[in-house]
Amino acid sequence: MNQEPHPNELPLQVLDLQIGYRDKRREVRLSGALRFGLPRGSLNAVVGVNGVGKSTLLRTLSGMHPPLSGELLIEGTPLEKLPLERRAQLLSIVLTEPLASQHLRVRELVGLGRYPYTNWLGQLSPEDLKGVEEALRKMELEAIAGQPCHTLSDGQLQRALIARALAQDTPLMLLDEPTTHLDLYHKVKILKLLKEIAHSTRKTILFSTHEIGLAIQLCDQILVLQPATARFGTPCELIEAGCFEALFPADTIRFDAESGYFRVTK
């Protein structure tokens, strides 16, 4: 492990967090207890097989789903102590589900990201408008800012959704599988944009993905979720520790540590 960063430099800190579901009869624990902190200005990925709890983790971190136990600190404050209005200024999300209204124009969509800062009518101040234009520019959306969302391609829509979260101007940004439905070129493009944002605006970004190979190449840190354990570290540390070998059954796919890619077992 590299040197421990100061807690002030960790916008998101998770202490022995146990995620899962609880109903009347039983408790379903997903993964092991989690303990990690995400440094300011870093791009981080959550990887793991289907059903291991990536989405549940993101929903827990964004406060939409309660944890079974453990602590979750956003900028040093426990999440449950933050009122909704304050949360909205610290944490923004990008979801996989479609927008409720497909007829919003891209600029309107991005403008809704400014809501935590507006008055009771939701009117955008000149400063808000500047933030909107800035987000549009960063996500390369200026040319299509006037189009309704239903006319966008999957890649454009994903960039518009990220621009909305960007306009919300939060230190922490959580994205659920931002690269699904995209071809390789657009996957890489989205992830490079995210990396650029994380480093240039000092935002902390966490996204879930199935693109482990791309995550290894582009992310600062990766969280590997497995049914009983979880490992967090830089891609190199995780490769050296052999974390990716055990991710999938070896008779189907094996991890090639040399190239940092998975290969089909022949």
Partner 1 sequence: MALLLVMLGVALLANLSLGSVYIPLKATLEILAGGEAARESWGYIIWNYRLPKALTALLVGSGLSLSGLLMQTLFRNPLAGPFVLGVSSGASLGAALLIMGASLLAGGSSAWLVNDVSLALASGFGSLVVLLTVLLVSARLKDAMALLIVGLMFGSITAALVTVLSYFAPAEQLQQYIFWSYGSLGNLGWGQLGLLGVFCLVGTAIGLGLVKALNALLLGEKYAQSLGISLSRTRAWIILGTGLLAGGITAFAGPIAFIGLAVPHLTRQLLRSQDHRVLLPGVLLYGGILMLFCDLVAQLPFSAYVLPINAITSLVGAPVVIWLLVRRRRMIF
Helix orientation angle between 126-138 and 154-167, rounded to the nearest 10 degrees: 140
The answer to whether 21 and 27 have CB atoms below 8 angstroms apart is: yes
For the bound state, the minimum distance from the C-beta of residue 204 to partner 1, rounded and expressed in Å, comes to: 16
The per-residue b/e assignment along 201-227, b for 16 or more CB within 10 angstroms, e otherwise, is eebbbbbbbebbebbbebbbbbbbbbe
The answer to whether 166 and 133 have CB atoms below 8 angstroms apart is: no
Piece of 23-31, 71-79, 115-123, 189-197 that binds partner 1 (CB under 8 A): 115-123
Q: Which of residues 55-84 bind partner 1 (CB under 8 A)?
A: 62, 64, 84
For the bound state, the minimum distance from the C-beta of residue 8 to partner 1, rounded and expressed in Å, comes to: 24
Half-sphere exposure of 160 (CA within 13 A, CB side): 28
Q: How many angstroms separate the CA atoms of 115 and 96, rounded?
A: 21
Q: How many angstroms separate the CA atoms of 2 and 77, rounded?
A: 25
Kindly state whether residue 118 participates in binding partner 1, applying the rule CB under 8 A.
yes
Kindly state whether residue 93 participates in binding partner 1, applying the rule CB under 8 A.
yes
For the bound state, the minimum distance from the C-beta of residue 202 to partner 1, rounded and expressed in Å, comes to: 21
**Between residues 164 and 231, which has the closer beta carbon with respect to partner 1?**
164
For the bound state, the minimum distance from the C-beta of residue 107 to partner 1, rounded and expressed in Å, comes to: 12
Kindly state whether residue 113 participates in binding partner 1, applying the rule CB under 8 A.
yes
Q: Which of 120, 228, 252, 266 binds partner 1 (CB under 8 A)?
A: 120
Kindly state whether residue 132 participates in binding partner 1, applying the rule CB under 8 A.
no
